[in-house]
A and B are shown apart, each in its own frame.
Chain A
C-alpha cells in the first residue's frame, strides 16, 4: 500500500501557530489535519474569580488582531446579566469602533496576507516591488481603520476605553469629525482595492457550506442580531450551546465546533454576506455586482472580494455614524452587580464570536465560555483542505503545500484566538 505524508510545519501569513498534515494513501487523501500547536493560555479558567469590571481588559488579550470583538461580545454578555440598557449614542460608538476593527483586520488580510497567494509572492513586502501602489493603498486603508480604533479606544491594540455600561470617555463631535477626510479617502481606497482584487485569477471551486451569521432587523450585523443559517437555523445567542457543540481532537489545541444536527459550518465574511447582502446599502450592492460577486458566494478563494466589499461598507457606515453622532448625555450608565448568566454573540472580522459568563451577586465571574470564529471554522477548513489536496495530488510537494496553505488562508484563521486552534505535513507514498 503506497502512503505519502506531506507536512507544512508552520503555516505562514496567518495569526498564530499551526501546521498541516496530509496523509495520502493509494492516491487518495486519507486525512487532512490542521494541527494547531498554539500554546493554550486558559483564559476561560483564569477569568474565574475576577470582577466583572476586569473582564474587558483581560479578554482583549486573547487576540491582538481582534480585541474589539472580544470586548464587544464580552460587554454585551455582561450587560445582559446586569440588565443594562445603553443609550443609542453608545450603541453607535460601539458600532463605529467595530467598523475600525473590520477595516484594519480585513485590510491586513486582503493586502498583506491573502493577495500574495494570487499574485505569486511570498509576502506583501516582496509583492510591493512590483505592486507598490496597491500595497501602499492597502496600508493606508489599514491605517484609517487603526485611526478609528486609536480615537475611540485610545490605542490600536488592546484598546482601553470600553467599559460595562458604556465607555470611560465619549468623544466630542469635533474629534470624530477630524476623521471624516481620512475615512472618505479610505472609502475610495477600499473601492480601488475591491476592483484590484476582482482582477485576480480565482481557482474554480464550489463548496456546499452551511453559512452561519448574525442577522439584524435593519443593519448589516456587527453587535446585534439572531444567529441564523442558510439551513434555516434562527436562534438567540442564549440558545447557542443548545444547537452547537465543541469537541476536542488530539491534533489540536483548538476545540472544534459543530452544529449538533448537521456538523461542520462556516462563519465569517462569506456567511455574513450570503445571509445579509440585503442589509448592505444599494451602492455597496451595486459595487459587488460590478465586480461580478455573486449574491451567495460559495468559492472560498473569492472571500477576498467579500472582505473588500465589507471594508467599503465599513468605511461608509463609519462616515454615516460620525455624521449622525450626538454625544451621549453621559459616557456610561451606572451598573450594579447581580447574579445571573449572560450570553452574547458579535461579528468579529472572522465571524461570530460567542461569549457566556455566569456571575455571582457580587459580580464575580463564576464561569466563562468563549467560542471563537476559527474554532467554528476548523471543520470546514479541514474539509476544504481535503478537497484541495485531492484535486492536486499530481503537483510536486512545494506546489501542493502552497495550494493547501492558500486554501487555509482563504478563511483568515486566527490561531491565537482559537487555541484553546496550523503546520502542513503531507503524508504520502
Chain B
C-alpha cells in the first residue's frame, strides 16, 4: 500500500469488547496530545466524529469477531491498513465472550434475550488473527498503556516493539513481591502467564488470574499439580483457565483436561 505524505495516519477499531483497551489510549493523559502531534488520528470513533477514509498507516484493533457482519468488516479494515496491531485479550484470544465456544451460543442468546432471533451472533468468539494477518499482538485484559505507547513509538520509527515475553513470575521477582503461592498458599497463574501488567495481583495479596494469557511454553501441567497440592478441586482448577483468555491454546487445553 503506498505511503501517503504527511503524518502517519492512525485508526482505532472496535469489535466485541468492553472499550477498555481503546480507553487505555485516552488514559495516556500526559502523552495523548503529543501522540496526536506525531500521528494523525484519522479514525477513532470513541474520541472523534471526524472519520476520515482510509488507507491508514496503523490500525489498532480492539475486540473479537462474534457476528457475521464483523467477520466481513475486519477484512475491510485489513485492506485499509498498512500495519494492523491487535490490542487486548478479546482481539488476541477471543476474550471472556469466547466462553460461548465451550457452550451452546444459541442457549446463551435465549437466556439473555426474550427474542434471540433478533440477535445475529456467531457460535464462537474468535481472535482477529483467525480472520486476517496481524502484524503485532499486544496482550492483556486490559492492555498496559505503557506497552501501548511503546508499540506506537516503535511503529513511528519503524522498529519491532520491545515487549517482554517472559512470565509474570519474573516481573514479580523483579518487583520484590513475596511469592503469594509459596508464602501464603494462594493459587497463582503467574508462572504460566505472559508478563505485561507489572505483576499487579501478587502486590495486592492475591494470585495472578491470567488476564494476559499464556506465556510461550507455559508449563500448565506443573502449575496444576501445585494447585492440586493446595487442595483445589479439579472443577475449580478448570475454571481458572476458563476466563479472559479461555480460547488461547495452552489455557483451553488445560481447562478441557479438567472437564470444565
A102 to B119 Cα, complex, angstroms? 32
Q: Would A64 and B32 count as touching, CB distance under 8 A?
A: no
- State which of A42, A54, A58, A416 has its C-beta within 8 Å of the C-beta of B111: A42
A168 / chain B contacts, CB cutoff of 8 Å: 204-206
B109 / chain A contacts, CB cutoff of 8 Å: 40, 42, 45
Q: Does B38 contact A (CB under 8 A)?
A: no
Known: A12-B48, A67-B20, A125-B41. 20 other contacts (CB 8 A): A13-B46, A37-B69, A44-B112, A45-B108, A58-B96, A61-B20, A64-B18, A123-B44, A123-B47, A126-B50, A142-B27, A143-B29, A146-B27, A154-B203, A160-B204, A168-B206, A248-B118, A331-B205, A405-B49, A420-B112
Q: Write the B77-114 contact mask toward A (1 if CB under 8 angstroms, else 0).
A: 00000000000000000011101100101011101111
Q: Does A140 contact B (CB under 8 A)?
A: yes
Q: Write the A50-89 contact mask toward B (1 if CB under 8 angstroms, else 0).
A: 1100100110011111010000000000000000000000
A179 to B24 Cα, complex, angstroms? 22
A113 to B16 Cα, complex, angstroms? 21
Q: Does A253 contact B (CB under 8 A)?
A: yes
- State which of B18, B121, B200, B239 has its C-beta within 8 Å of the C-beta of A51: B239
Q: Would B66 and A39 count as touching, CB distance under 8 A?
A: yes
Q: Which 6 A-B pairs have the closest CB atoms?
A: A64-B20, A123-B48, A122-B50, A12-B49, A45-B108, A41-B97
Q: Write the A153-181 contact mask toward B (1 if CB under 8 angstroms, else 0).
A: 01111101101000011000000000000
Q: Does A124 contact B (CB under 8 A)?
A: yes
Q: Would A12 and B113 count as touching, CB distance under 8 A?
A: no
A44 / chain B contacts, CB cutoff of 8 Å: 111-112
A64 / chain B contacts, CB cutoff of 8 Å: 17-23, 142
Query: Can you name 10 A-B pairs with beta carbons within 8 Å?
Result: A42-B105, A44-B111, A57-B243, A157-B23, A158-B211, A160-B206, A163-B206, A168-B206, A169-B204, A247-B114
Q: Does A26 contact B (CB under 8 A)?
A: no
Looking at the assembled complex, report how far the CB atom of B229 sits from the nearest CB atom of chain A, in whole angstroms.
20
Count of chain B residues with a beta carbon within 8 Å of a chain A beta carbon: 66
A122 to B100 Cα, complex, angstroms? 38
A146 to B27 Cα, complex, angstroms? 8
Q: Does A348 contact B (CB under 8 A)?
A: no
A362 to B202 Cα, complex, angstroms? 26
B33 / chain A contacts, CB cutoff of 8 Å: 125, 128, 135-136, 139
Total A-B Cβ pairs within 8 A: 185
A116 to B49 Cα, complex, angstroms? 10
Q: Does A15 contact B (CB under 8 A)?
A: yes
Interface residues of A in 29-44 (CB under 8 A from B): 37-44
A271 / chain B contacts, CB cutoff of 8 Å: none
Q: Does A46 contact B (CB under 8 A)?
A: yes
A14 to B48 Cα, complex, angstroms? 9
**Which residues of A are interface residues toward B (Cβ below 8 A)?**
10-17, 37-46, 48, 50-51, 54, 57-58, 61-65, 67, 108, 112-113, 116, 122-126, 128, 135-136, 139-140, 142-143, 146, 154-158, 160-161, 163, 168-169, 247-248, 250, 253, 255, 331, 402, 405, 416, 420
A39-B121, A146-B29, A248-B115 known; A10+B20 contact, CB < 8 A: no
Q: Does B67 contact A (CB under 8 A)?
A: yes
B149 / chain A contacts, CB cutoff of 8 Å: none
A123 / chain B contacts, CB cutoff of 8 Å: 41, 44, 47-50
A116 / chain B contacts, CB cutoff of 8 Å: 49
B95 / chain A contacts, CB cutoff of 8 Å: 41, 61
- State which of A46, A51, A155 has its C-beta within 8 Å of the C-beta of B100: A46
Residue of B nearest to A141 (CB): B29
- State which of B19, B27, B99, B204 has its C-beta within 8 Å of the C-beta of A154: B204
Residue of B nearest to A38 (CB): B16
Q: Does B45 contact A (CB under 8 A)?
A: yes
Looking at the assembled complex, report how far the CB atom of B142 sits from the nearest CB atom of chain A, in whole angstroms.
4
Q: Would B20 and A157 count as touching, CB distance under 8 A?
A: yes
Q: Would B107 and A45 count as touching, CB distance under 8 A?
A: yes
Q: Would B205 and A416 count as touching, CB distance under 8 A?
A: no
Q: Does B14 contact A (CB under 8 A)?
A: yes
Residue of A nearest to B114 (CB): A248
A265 to B30 Cα, complex, angstroms? 38
Q: Does B251 contact A (CB under 8 A)?
A: no
- State which of B24, B30, B47 has its C-beta within 8 Å of the C-beta of A112: B47
A11 / chain B contacts, CB cutoff of 8 Å: 45
Residue of B nearest to A9 (CB): B51
Residue of A nearest to B260 (CB): A49
